[in-house]
């Protein structure tokens, strides 16, 4: 099946999914729906042993939600979107029986961080920057990032910073 916002490559038992919306791989409704479909396809494919998710281009793994998708929506519309589109995708990514690996470089913000947090393993380049910038606008991350992040790094670290920067010599 062809995808508009994702690139799927299979190399032996490894499936590589690239979010393909450069330069920052902003997450839109189509990408979330296609990722759900691709995960269902890969889950049913007995030749696939592991799934790696990354971004296309050189700037970002994924810089979060494409705000054009929700710019003209009411609060109820945004909540409906959040509960039905990213949530479904992230539940599939979290629950898939095959190992999932996020290969993170550049920006992994908002929904991009959530994609990485849903994977079983995260491998980050030295230039990777993880963050949940929506909290600076008084908006809660809507797809479980606050719970996933605190389970991964601990409540004390989660409460002390709104973002985690991984670079040479910093943690």
Positions marked catalytic: 114, 134
Return all residues near 59 (Cβ < 8 A) that are at least 6 apart.
22, 23, 24, 106, 107
- Burial class from Cβ neighbours inside 10 Å (0-12, 13-18, 19+) for residue 68 reads exposed
Note whether 16 and 9 are within 8 A (CB): yes
The C-alpha atoms of residue 19 and residue 62 are separated, in whole angstroms, by 7
The C-alpha atoms of residue 94 and residue 109 are separated, in whole angstroms, by 18
Note whether 42 and 48 are within 8 A (CB): yes
């Amino acid at each position: 099946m062809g995808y508009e916002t994702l690139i799927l490559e299979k190399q032996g038992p490894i499936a590589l999914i690239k979010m393909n919306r450069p330069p920052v791989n902003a997450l839109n409704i189509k990408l979330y729906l296609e990722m759900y479909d691709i995960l269902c396809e890969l889950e049913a494919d007995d030749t696939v042993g592991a799934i790696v998710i990354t971004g296309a281009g050189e700037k970002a793994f994924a810089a979060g939600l494409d705000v054009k998708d929700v710019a003209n929506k009411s609060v109820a519309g945004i909540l409906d979107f959040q509960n039905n589109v990213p949530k479904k995708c992230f539940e599939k990514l979290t629950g898939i029986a095959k190992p999932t690996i996020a290969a993170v470089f550049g920006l992994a913000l908002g929904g991009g961080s959530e994609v990485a947090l849903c994977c079983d393993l995260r491998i980050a380049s030295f230039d990777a920057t993880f963050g949940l910038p929506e909290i600076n606008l008084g908006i809660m991350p809507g797809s479980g990032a606050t719970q996933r992040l605190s389970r991964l790094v601990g409540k004390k670290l989660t409460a002390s910073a709104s973002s985690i920067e991984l670079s040479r010599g910093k943690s």
